[in-house]
Structure 1
Amino acid sequence: MNNGKEKPKVIVLGGGVAGMSAAHELMERGFNVSVYEAKSIPGGKARSMTVKGSGTNGRKDLPSEHGFRFFPKFYKHITDTMKRIPYNYNKRGVFDNLIEGTNLGLAFFDRAMLPFVTEFPTTIHDWKTMLTSLFDNHLGLSKEDVEHYVERLWQMMTSSDIRRLLDYQRISWWDFIEADKQSEQFRQVFAGLSRILVAAKAKEANACTIGTVGATLMLDMVTPGGSADRLLDGPTNDVWLTPWHRYLTENGVEFHMEAKVTSIHMKDGEVAGVTIDHAGQTELVIGDCYIFALPVEVMAKLVNEELIKADALLAQLIPLSDSVEWMNGVQFYLSEDVPLIHGHIICMDSPWALTLISQQQFWNNYPLSEYGDGRVRGVISVDVSDWEAPGILFGKPAMKCTREEIRAEVWEQLKRSFNHNGEEVLSDEMVVDWYLDEDIHFPNPHESVNMEPLLVNRVHTWSMRPNAYTQIPNLYLASDYVRTNTDLATMEGANEAARRAVNAILEHYQIDENPCKIWDMYDFDLLKAWRSNDENRYERGLPWNGKIVG
């Protein structure tokens, strides 16, 4: 029902997770939707790729990823959408292609890998005890180290939303945990975890984001029914993005690939059209309203004087676009499968903050012998989270290395993380092939360029981030930099932003359709009494005290 109103034609600029999510929600509500994506395939940062030319004798090219996919238990928005994407005979669509990772490993240069969680408790008896148990595993931390860190997590979890937003967004995670006053081992473990888990430097990222997300991830591990993480049971395109794209096109969504938006045209305070470079040809695309589902560094370049005149807040996208870091993938294709651990692994001593997963154990329906030249039996999928720290072979940061130097450095850091006491878990002879994320370009021999960096929630950036709606009545924003409950540059944040953009369209055009559901995040439901008391204290100008009453 739309009360007789004609639904506006919606132009979605960007075919990543945010753009596809917006198209999905609009399509289900009967809108005419066209998506314009700069790349040749949809999916954005979530897409998988292939090692072009690697397949021989009729075999498929080797599968590769921008970075391994990670679906924490606290995700609500993107997983809800996945349940509405048909896939074979799955009752819950592509959501049923997610597999629980049963463990999380911590790898070191000087000792064997440690499991972060070996088993989950069956009852909840004391939150602090559960959190403390995570770090009681020979990490070299003192009792005082653990107690201090758990106390900071406890403060974050029992603080009210208003205190988190107005106070903790203004302080770095490093300062919040008072890292300068703690032991060297404390700084290595706890500041390092934030660098690896969310590609954020503890000295730069705000405490609200790092603290709430970190606490939520850890509680997901230790609460009854918890899990370390969830992963897809095949290459991302195969088991998620291609079925999604097919479902949208079959239901009327138009996709225009290799179509890059180059400028935005304004007239009378509204968007009159956008110029698209489509396969080398320039065209003017006109719709009734426009959802810009583009990364912040791309959107910032499109902001012009006319846009700022119509909505001054859009000018903040320009400085916000500097708040990005690199987090890109490298795959090593091995002649034998090396499972390592059933889940993700964090290389704690790696200067490049490597995280990885041994992929084949989760891809049971995708035998690697059918790819490449037939010799591959295992894949180690690695994310490089720190591109600015010097490496151990060449003494250079990753962004200053050549392609081959990146390969050699990452492989060396992996070998030092797993080969101990004469046991060679990873050997040079195992490597059949390797692949570096195609978004890493090498315009000259001395420095690489990342075509798709990752937004980081630095201190004071919340005020720069826009809402999904703007003061321009037919311009909407759907991307991971938009203000959301998720408050993190992830697939979850992108999906939530898209839902908010669609809801704003429904309201502005007075379309009588059910709004997209928006979930609260980081509620810590069992701690509501503490959080309620803290809200009362905040309103009275009092500091956090961690109590239920008083």
Structure 2
Amino acid sequence: MKKKVVILGGGVAGMSAAHELIERGFDVALYEYKKIPGGKARSMPVPGSGTDGRFDLPGEHGFRFFPGFYRHITDTMKRIPYGQNENGVFDNLVPVPRMGMARFDHPLTVLLSSFPSSIEDLKTALRSIIDSDLNLSEDEIELAAAKTWQVMSSCRERKLLEYQNISWWEFIDAENQSVHYQKFFATITRTLVAAKAKESNTKTIGDVAAALFLDMLTPGVTNDRVLNGPTNDVWIGPWLHFLQEKGVDYHLGAEVTSIQCKNNAITSVTVVENGETHTVGGDYFLSALPVEVFAKLISDEMLVEAPNLAAIQKLSTSVQWMTGIQYYLKEDVEVVRGHVAYMDSPWALTSISQIQFWDGYDIRNRGDGTVKGILSVDVSDWTTPGILFGKTAMECTKEEIHQEVWEQIKRSLNHTEVVLDDEMLHSSFLDPDIQFLNPRDKINLEPLLVNNVHTFDLRPFAYTRIPNLFLASDYVRTNTDLASMEAANEAARRAVNCILDAADSDAPPCEIFEMYEHDLLTLWHKHDKKRFEQGLPWEGKILDTKRFSIHALAEILF
């Protein structure tokens, strides 16, 4: 008989686990609280926006970003059928050739997101160097380069055991540098991943930054990709259809309210579905719930059997808010063909103009038919006062949030010419995960885990001391080491491999990919690993292989 796996949570982690399990012959039932699949990766309709038979306008929890170094989630996407696509929904990813850096006191700087592939790209690269005007001293540029090299050339062991416990702010010596240095190299962390430079650890920030940087310098590598339509249209929806066709029993609008544990085993979970409460049993239980949700379900009985689960409850406090707002425009304003980081915005905004990437998508069939452009924005800082009302996002009403974000974007883009004006604005939509308890007090139903210093030891493995309980979410220990859809997918693969082992299954294990490994740097990594094992610090210089004999090189390598 098939072994039954009960999956709690239907975001990327839950759907990834269901995908791997159903293909390996398990009976899979999945329970998702929301009525739309996909978790943080989902898109959603704007309620009531469609008129005269048109569909509702598309909204997003936050815009999607698929860096070139992602390997797990893109591998899964290739196995999700989509029309005549040879590589399934993976072929719905399109390259993003540019990115923008917007500031209050400087025109938009356009940068390349990948290695130049044309004369026009080369011109853009050279122009961006001239126009960037970052006001950094030569010493600060040299320091930034040295710190980047240090992260790139450090061994994995040093990163894991040393850099996990050093804040990014401390590592780059931001405290002793200019405001301009702090703004560019330190505060950009909150723009990219809602991480505060003084709290987030160097390994996570450094690994991601180095990977993005190296991919930009590697010919043929696409450093940034986005989907060619609303997320649920071109990815999540087809994925759900595929899973259900394969036999996954996928329940939407089903809230897991408790987990029953007895005699060192999970016996069942309690689910509220369509207003009715029932229990669900199974052989194995896999939690793909966000850390802050699962932490509340950990019972005293579970802690008796697996005391280390208490660390998850502590880890659940390491979350920040990173939430999307869409601005629907009466004309399509591309801004730049890629993502834009608003360096001076107090609320750490990033945006992308979406329609330019949605080839074949007719926005005229949405809303009232007059929307021609969508500016999708992420708000990553909810605790710094804004420029319009002088209040934090936490203190603002919904309407004040819409006005404040719009004003910060306009002030960043409108310099030598007016890129955005109020007449262009049709309407806006704030992610409904932001729930207003009253006009100003609010909660976020889906905050984002941030890898702060001294939190790595709190992060669990995909298995637990309860033999039939497994964990698959972006807070699990992974090679990805960043709260993202990539980490969620990798965590799901690890959890499935643990279930295969527990079930004595002869099905092939899920592939786990290495991350942040660069063959060109192998020599330096081995050299630093040897120093680390001897208790020595990172050497601080570029290894000149010409000065080494064959024997010396062999000693380093082997």
Same fold (TM over 0.5): yes
Residue 369 of structure 1 and its aligned partner are, at CA, apart by: 1.1
**What is the letter of the counterpart of residue 309 of structure 1?**
V
Post-superposition offset of 1:63? 0.4
Please list, as runs of the form range in 1=range in 2, the aligned pairs for 1:166-177 lying within 5 A after superposition.
166-177=161-172
Residue 400 of structure 1 and its aligned partner are, at CA, apart by 1.3
Residue pairs, 1:462-481, within 5 angstroms: 462-481=456-475
- Identify which of 493, 500, 508 aligns with 2:494: 500
**CA apart distance, 1:208:** 0.5
What amino acid does structure 2 have at the position aligned with 1:510? D
State the secondary structure of the residue aligned to 2:106.
Answer: coil
Once residues 493 and 118 of structure 1 are traced to their aligned partners in structure 2, the CA distance between those partners, rounded to angstroms, is 22
Amino acid at match of 1:532: K
Equivalent position of 2:514 in the other structure? 520
Query: How far 1:142 moved relative to its partner?
Result: 2.0
CA distance in 2, matches of 1:40, 1:451: 14
Relative to structure 1, is the Cα distance of residues 7 and 540 closer, same or farther in structure 2, using a 3 angstrom cutoff? farther
Q: Does residue 1:288 correspond to 2:283, yes or no?
A: yes
The answer as to 2:63 corresponding to 1:68 is yes
Q: Distance in 2 between matches of 1:245 and 1:43?
A: 9
CA deviation vs aligned residue, 1:18-62 (integer Å, no higher than 9, x gap): 000000000111111000000112100000011111111111100
The residue number in structure 2 matching 1:27 is 22
| Aligned positions of 1:118-129 closer than 5 A | 120-121=115-116
Partners of 2:33 and 2:207 in 1: CA distance: 34
SS in 2 for 1:240: helix
SS at structure 2 position matched to 1:429:
helix
Asked if 1:441 is matched to 2:417, the reply is no
- Corresponding position of 2:479: 485
- Match of 2:187, SS? helix
1:222 aligns with 2:221: no
Greater Cα shift, 386-395 or 442-451: 442-451
Aligned partners of 2:470 and 2:495 also within 8 Å: yes
- Equivalent in the alignment of 2:414: 419
Check conservation: 1:104, 1:228, Cα contact below 8 A: no
Contact 2:333–2:373 at 8 Å: present in 1 too? yes
Q: How many Å apart are 1:143 and its aligned residue?
A: 2.0
Correspondence 1:369-388 to 2 at 5 A: 369-388=364-383
Q: Distance in 1 between matches of 2:148 and 2:117?
A: 22
Match of 2:153 among 132, 154, 158: 158
Equivalent in 84, 92, 100 of residue 87 of structure 2 = 92
Amino acid of the residue matched to residue 19 of structure 2? Answer: H
Pairing of 1:145-544 with structure 2 (within 5 A): 145-421=140-416, 423-544=417-538
Contact (CA 8 Å) 1:103, 1:228: kept in 2 or not?
no
Q: What amino acid is aligned across from residue 239 of structure 1 in structure 2? A: V
Alpha-carbon distance in structure 2 between the residues aligned to 1:142 and 1:438? 44
Please give the TM-score of this superposition, normalised by the length of structure 2. Answer: 0.94
Task: Give the CA deviation at 1:134.
Answer: 7.4
2:39 to 37, 41, 44: 44
Distance across 2 between alignment mates of 1:136 and 1:542? 41
Unaligned stretches of 5+ residues in structure 2:
119-124, 544-552
Counterpart contact for 2:114–2:223, Cα < 8 Å: no
Shift of 1:445: 2.3
Q: What is the SS of the residue equivalent to 2:90?
A: helix
Question: Does residue 81 of structure 1 match 2:76?
Answer: yes
Structure 1 gap ranges (5+): 1-5, 124-129
Per-residue Cα deviation, 1:244-281 (whole angstroms, up to 9, x for no partner):
00000001001111111111111110001011111221
Measured after TM superposition, the shift of residue 222 of structure 1 is 2.0
Instruction: Give, in angstroms, the shift of residue 141 of structure 1.
Output: 1.8
Query: Offset of 1:226 from its aligned partner?
Result: 3.1
Given that residues 109 and 131 in structure 2 are in contact (C-alpha distance below 8 angstroms), is that contact kept between their aligned partners in structure 1? no
Query: Which segment is superposed worse, 183-192 or 17-26?
Result: 183-192
Compute the TM-score of the two structures, normalised by the length of structure 1.
Answer: 0.95
CA deviation digits over 1:406-445, x for unaligned, max 9? 0000000011011113x21101011111100010011022
User: Cα–Cα, structure 1 residues 166 and 63, in superposed 2: closer, same or farther, change >3 Å?
Assistant: same
CA distance in 2, matches of 1:381, 1:24: 29
Identity of aligned residues (%): 58
